[in-house]
């Protein structure tokens, strides 16, 4: 029994000692299972959440404050992109009819005021001017003849007056002799007849003077060139000279010739027929269509800035010249008819004309270009204006 007890005791020791022998194999597996050692980190998520909360609150608040500031301090500068540059366009036509003998321009050519555009055949007008000069000379000669006729009438009237005096003396002598019974009655009748004839001739001579005086315009001492017939001839002569001068057509202003590609020598033109256009580069302005709500503080004379799409990085200075008399709808060919049943309020636009003050703009810009306009009204919205509108509304209630 002692042997058996020893065996059992040895088995028990071996059993208790086996875990100790296997213990060295455990440390290789244990570090993998216990990897997350730093456990104090859970405090960080709380800081991130608080930062996010502050950011979510501060960002909208900053946007609201910034937007309110921009709105309150804004409104001074009124802008629109509905704007176009305009230049005066002159339709070139001829004042006289004739055939073109010379052309001095080409399409899209820049010209200066007084430059030759074209020449119409001047020969017929030279002939007409020569005829007018001859008519003036004839009228002046006619006036001299009328003046001579007046002098002749005066002489005839003087002669007739002398005849009347002589006939009167003869009649008086015959009457005196007849009364004394010395002369016959027939002699008295003959003297009376001679006196009547002399008086009639005097009357005719007087009418001749009146007629000659009337032919001289009622003034015998009138200057020749002031006589109506001479003045009429001179006017016709001036008209002929004017027509001759109009055969040479020059540029009325600085500009660019447009739509003259088919204008050639040999073409026959008539009076008033448009031939081509001249776009004046010296007269340029901007028509900007602002909303009616933007015109509250806009006035003529205010400064403005123009940005043209052709030159996006360049700014041109301008001045408000005038504000249109009405909206575009009021002056359209077919004005809108707002019925009472389906009426919808639409913000209207009113044209504002601006004058360019930048001297370089006249050469760089062309008519019809699109532009953006910014007008400095000098008046921002501000808090007082808001409160003022509010008080006005309360007063109205």
3-state secondary structure of 77: strand
Q: Beta partners for 90?
A: 278
- Give the whole-angstrom CA distance, residue 47 versus residue 29: 36
pLDDT at 73: 59
Query: Taking the domains of the chain in order of start, what are their residue ranges?
Result: 77-88+282-337+345-383, 90-118+249-274, 125-242
- Give the whole-angstrom CA distance, residue 323 versus residue 302: 12
Q: Which DSSP helix (H) or strand (E) runs through 280?
A: strand 274-291
Cβ atoms of 297 and 377 closer than 8 Å: yes
pLDDT at 139: 92
pLDDT at 112: 93
pLDDT at 98: 95
What lies within 8 Å, CB to CB, of 271 at 6+ separation is 93, 94, 95, 96, 97
pLDDT at 327: 83
pLDDT in tens, 241-254: 999 999 999 999 99
Q: Beta partners for 353?
A: 287, 322
Axis crossing angle, helix 123-180 with helix 228-245, rounded to the nearest 10 = 180
Q: Beta partners for 356?
A: 318
pLDDT at 353: 94
What lies within 8 Å, CB to CB, of 129 at 6+ separation is 237, 240, 241, 243, 244
Q: Which DSSP helix (H) or strand (E) runs through 277?
A: strand 274-291
pLDDT at 391: 41
Residue with tokens 């003998």: 101
* Residue-wise DSSP of 152-219: HHHHHHHHHHHHHHHHHHHHHHHHHHHHHTSS-HHHHHHHHHHHHHHHHHHHHHHHHHHHHHHHTTT-
pLDDT at 34: 47
pLDDT in tens, 176-200: 777 777 766 777 778 788 888 888 8
pLDDT tens per residue, the chain (397 residues)? 445 455 555 545 544 544 444 444 444 444 444 445 554 555 555 555 666 767 777 777 888 877 776 666 567 889 999 999 999 899 999 999 999 999 999 999 999 999 999 999 999 999 999 999 999 999 999 988 888 888 888 888 888 888 888 888 887 777 777 777 776 677 777 878 888 888 888 888 888 888 888 888 888 888 888 888 999 999 999 999 999 999 999 999 999 999 998 999 999 999 999 999 999 988 889 999 999 989 988 999 999 999 998 888 889 999 999 999 888 777 777 666 665 556 677 888 999 999 988 777 766 788 889 999 999 998 876 655 444 443 433 333 3
Pick the CATH number of 77-88+282-337+345-383 from 2.40.30.170, 3.20.20.70, 2.60.40.60, 2.30.40.10: 2.40.30.170
Phi and psi based region of residue 205 (left: phi greater than 0; alpha: psi -120 to 50; beta: remaining): alpha
CATH T-level topology, domain 90-118+249-274: OB fold (Dihydrolipoamide Acetyltransferase, E2P) (2.40.50)
**CA angle 158-162-167, nearest 5°?**
145
pLDDT at 36: 52
Q: Which two tokens stand for residue 90?
A: 């002159």
């Amino acid at each position: 029994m002692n042997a058996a007890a020893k065996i059992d005791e040895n088995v028990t020791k071996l059993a208790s000692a086996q875990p100790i022998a296997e213990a060295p194999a455990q440390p290789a597996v244990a570090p993998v299972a216990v990897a997350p050692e730093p456990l104090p980190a859970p405090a960080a998520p709380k800081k991130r959440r608080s930062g996010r909360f502050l950011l979510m609150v501060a960002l909208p608040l900053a946007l609201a404050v910034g937007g309110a500031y921009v709105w309150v301090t804004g409104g001074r500068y009124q802008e629109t992109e509905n704007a176009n540059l305009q230049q005066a366009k002159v339709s070139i036509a001829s004042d006289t009819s004739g055939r073109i003998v010379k052309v001095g321009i080409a399409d899209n050519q820049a010209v200066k005021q007084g430059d030759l555009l074209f020449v119409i055949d001047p020969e017929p007008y030279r002939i007409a001017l020569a005829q007018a000069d001859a008519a003036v000379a004839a009228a002046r000669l006619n006036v001299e003849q009328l003046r001579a006729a007046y002098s002749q009438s005066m002489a005839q009237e003087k002669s007739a007056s002398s005849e009347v005096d002589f006939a009167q003396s003869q009649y008086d002598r015959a009457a005196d002799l007849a009364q004394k019974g010395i002369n016959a009655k027939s002699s008295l009748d003959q003297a009376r007849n001679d006196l009547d004839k002399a008086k009639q001739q005097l009357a005719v001579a007087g009418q001749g003077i009146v007629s000659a005086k009337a032919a001289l315009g009622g003034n015998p001492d009138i200057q020749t060139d002031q006589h109506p017939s001479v003045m009429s001839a001179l006017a016709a002569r001036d008209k002929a000279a004017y027509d001759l001068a109009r055969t040479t057509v020059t540029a009325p202003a600085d500009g660019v010739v447009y739509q003259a590609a088919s204008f050639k020598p040999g073409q026959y033109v008539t009076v008033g027929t448009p031939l081509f256009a001249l776009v004046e580069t010296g007269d340029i302005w901007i028509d900007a269509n602002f909303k009616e709500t933007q015109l509250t503080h806009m006035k003529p004379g205010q400064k403005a800035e123009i940005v043209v799409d052709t030159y996006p990085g360049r700014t041109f200075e301008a001045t408000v010249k005038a504000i249109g008399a009405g909206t575009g709808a009021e002056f359209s060919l077919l004005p809108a008819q707002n019925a009472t049943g389906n009426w919808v309020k639409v913000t209207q636009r009113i044209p504002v004309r601006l004058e360019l003050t930048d001297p370089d703009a006249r050469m760089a810009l062309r008519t019809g270009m699109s532009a953006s306009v910014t007008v400095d009204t000098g008046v921002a919205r501000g808090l007082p204006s808001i409160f003022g509108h509010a008080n006005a509304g309360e007063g109205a209630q």
